[in-house]
Each structure stands twice: as C-alpha cells, then as structure tokens.
Amino acid sequence: MRKSFYATLVASTITATIWSVLANAEPTYIQKMNGLPAVCSIEDAYQQTEVDAAAKKYGEGKPGWSKAFQARLDAVRTCLDSARDKGKAFYRDEIAKHPDLKPQLSDMYVAWLAHLDHFIDDEQDDYERAYEKSANRLQAEIDAR
C-alpha cells in the first residue's frame, strides 16, 4: 500500500512539474489558496495509511495505534499551521494588489480559515463547500472586470 502511495505521489509531482513548466504562468490567488490545503490532504492521506497499518498490526485503540493516530493529528496540524501562515501572506499580498476587491477577498479568506479549522472533522464538507462558494464569488467579481 505504501509503495502505491509513493508511486502516485511521484507521478503527481512529475505531472505537476511538467504542467507548470508548460503553463509557465504565475498561479492565481485562488489557485494558491486551493493548493495549500491540497498539500495537507496528501499528508493526511499518507498519515491515515500509517494509522490503518497500525490498526492491523496492533489493533485499534492499542498503544501502537494511538501513537500512529496522534502522529497523524500532529502532522496534519503542523501542515495546517504552515498553510495558515502562507495563506495569510498571500491574502495580504492580494489585498495590496487589489484593494478594491477587499470585501470579496476577506469573505473568501474567512471561509478558507474556517475550512482549515474543520479540515479533519465530520463537518469538513460543509466548510469546504462554503469556501468554494466564496472563491466562486471572488472569481465572478474578477471576471466581471
């Protein structure tokens, strides 16, 4: 299972690298903001495979499983903290470039932060949809220019 995850990750990285070279364009603000939690999703998926392996090896709820589960939470939390820091910088840069879009940028940023706050809980889908809706509103405002 681990090898297939790494193979998929390597293939995705190579594809992304090739595409970025071909596209040769700076990602948009929305693309940057979407990419930050996507990285954490990859980390979460990897860590979940470790938790699943520990459940098979030790049994769910046993000390070995608990250690893997806590490692997953810590890794995802660290990734999300890093994403918040980077997202904050992207947000500030975008407001400096487009002060006229501040209300829409703020709306999207608030929804994005809420999405990160609920990244691994049962209500994740609701917050992700709210974020996507705010990103679509921002894109509509940009497209209307």
Per-residue pLDDT tens listing for the chain (145 residues): 555 655 565 566 666 666 655 566 899 999 999 999 999 999 999 999 999 999 999 999 999 999 999 999 999 999 999 999 999 999 999 999 999 999 999 999 999 999 999 998 888 999 999 999 999 999 999 999 8
Residue 89 lies in a domain: yes
133 in a domain, yes or no?
yes
Domain assignment of residue 14, yes or no: no
Residue 22 falls within a domain, yes or no?
Answer: no
The distance of Cα 128 from the centroid of its chain, to the nearest Å, equals: 10
54: containing domain: 28-143
Is 10 domain-assigned? no
**Dihedral (C-alpha) 24, 29, 31, 32: value to the nearest 10 degrees?**
90
Structural domains of the chain, count: 1
| Cα dihedral sign, 92-41-12-10 | positive
